[in-house]
Amino acid sequence: MFGLLTEILVGFGGTMLNLGYLNLRRRVFAVLVFAYLTRIRQI
């Protein structure tokens, strides 16, 4: 779980450098939803 969180944070930083603010928010939202759904399946 910690490794996944670190990977998300690293991807977040890289995306913030490469894309605009709106694209960043949209991508982060999608990643958070995906992580949430994955966590539900694991429980």
Side-chain half-sphere CA neighbours of 9 within 13 A? 6
Residue pair 34/42 in contact by the 8 Å Cβ criterion: no
**Across residues 5-24, what is the average pLDDT?**
72
pLDDT tens digits along 21-40: 667 678 889 999 998 988 88
Task: Return the pLDDT at 43.
Answer: 65
Distance (Å, rounded) from C-alpha 27 to C-alpha 13? 12
**Domain definitions of the chain by residue range:** 2-42
Write the CA distances from 11 to 20, 23, 33, 40, 42, integer angstroms.
14, 13, 15, 22, 23
Q: What percent of the chain has pLDDT over 70?
A: 74
* 18 has a pLDDT exceeding 80: no
pTM score, two decimals? Answer: 0.41
The whole-number pLDDT of residue 22 equals 64
2 or 30, which is more confident: 30
